[in-house]
Structure 1
């Protein structure tokens, strides 16, 4: 699949609201198909298996300690009864440190792999034709430093969004509220505002990544983020629309696959393989969402003539 290239020079003609709307739709369309490059998605899937295995290993050990020597192991593999659940609760205290450590290490690995995978996506977006695995990996390594700096800078806008959301939650607390529904509505509104703030902060980070991708000469993650923020200010509906549409589509697809995975009956090897396939498809949906979002924002920034 090919991605188009264009000059990064500022656009000379003024944008009307209609042309901006069409540009947003074009950017959305331009992002959906190129993000389906199978080598790129497979690279994401294989990379995400590493932290998954690290997180699963302590849980595997805990389940093995509980059920490997049980005469009812076959039945328990299909359904846990009350006694088995009580045994697991008791074993969790013994393995809690290992499970927590596995989760922390897996999270750290995921964060450290993120710049590499985003760099591979950037290389795929720049290329006029689909890249081989070696070229994608080389692109991820080449872009790693700049994207790692952007990941570190992301702490600032995301932290500010969380802080403002916490302030909103504090304001929403109504100790003197007469009706419980009033307090619940205020808490719900505060939660929605906090979620929107976090999503908006993340949109500014993705816009900064898009600008880093368009200009290989950029080295400052902070300046790229500032320019990404400027892009959102200049074209708020197009940027937020592309970001929200792709995010919603990706999350809905991943959620549907996750629900299907949870409803796969435990009937043997076929069910296990089917559940594993559905789980990996959910991961691929999230990987596609990340890549498509970046491609769409790159297309918008390119059309706006952002530097």
Structure 2
């Protein structure tokens, strides 16, 4: 198990794969950020208080921006919908690239990586569509747990008891979503080990079988890489908050830190899927 974790962690550092991840994350971000940037630039660039507003926004500036944002909400909403659609369209491409890289004995060059991603796109797209069913069920169950916790909170005397029930329900809902996401990644790993299989439902069901057969390796790999990635990303996010984007050096540093956070999240997802593919290959 240790060898699977170490090999997956190192293999997930393939620069071509991470560069493809960064590009696919950056495109939807730009699609949403450009209208917001134009809105902020039109309101703040020509202000006599621009240097001070670049460091912190006062109440008056926030009120003015809220008014303008309300008028421009349809355009920003359209940009947000376009960014979401582009993210969903690129997600199977990224999953296909990870599957192709995990299956290859050596690191793939860009052409082979993109060819493998495109070849896997239909199966990964079907898995993305099927994900709506288990994720929707998990969200529905999580909302039911939160409603039950709120109902319990109205019957207790101490506010702390109500708060603890809500926190427990929220934690259970988050764990449900993570568990469903694990089964979906296990399904992708099952599809990666059998190119003949085209059904997303059958692949997901086989992923459930992988979880039932090897619960220890599957859960530990997923949990370790998730915790490591989130802790590292949170640490970088705290560092990013300490860098005010005032001046060219600070702006470049803030941009690099933001991209590094995206790469860490990408490494986390790639490493998890690499580990699950290796476990699935052992089960075959």
Fold conserved between structures, TM > 0.5: yes
- Asked if 1:129 is matched to 2:106, the reply is yes
The one-character-per-residue Cα deviations of 1:66-99 (angstroms, maximum 9, x if unpaired) are 1132233233223323322221122111112222
Return 5+ residue gaps in structure 1 as ranges: 1-22
* Paired position in structure 2 for 1:55: 32
Structure 1 stretches of 4+ with a deviation exceeding 6 A read: none
Equivalent-residue separation in structure 2 for 1:162 and 1:26 (angstroms): 35
- Structure 2 equivalent of residue 106 of structure 1: 83
**Residue 46 (structure 1) shift:** 1.3
Which has the higher relative contact order, 1 or 2, with Cα contacts under 8 A spaced 6 or more apart? Answer: 1
**Partners of 1:180 and 1:81 in 2: how far apart?**
34
C-alpha contact (below 8 Å) 2:54/2:246 kept by paired residues: no
1:199-238 deviation per Cα after TM superposition (whole angstroms, max 9, x unaligned): 1000000000001111111101100100100111122222
| Alpha carbons 2:245, 2:254 under 8 Å: kept | no
**Alignment partners' CA distance in 1, 2:60 and 2:143:** 41
1:177 to 153, 156, 163: 156
Question: Which residue does 2:55 correspond to in 1?
Answer: 78
Counterpart position of 1:294: 273
Partner Cα distance (1:176, 1:78) in 2: 46
| TM-score normalised to structure 1 length | 0.88
In structure 2, distance between residues paired with 1:102 and 1:118: 24
Whether 1:205 and 2:180 are equivalent positions in the alignment is no
CA distance in 2, matches of 1:69, 1:142: 50
Larger helix fraction of residues: 2
Verify: 1:151 aligned to 2:128, yes or no: yes
Aligned-pair Cα RMSD in Å: 1.3
SS at match of 1:177: coil
1:161-176 pair list within 5 angstroms = 161-172=138-149, 173-174=151-152, 175-176=154-155
TM value normalised by structure 2? 0.95
2:23 aligned with 1:46, yes or no?
yes
Unaligned stretches of 5+ in structure 2? none
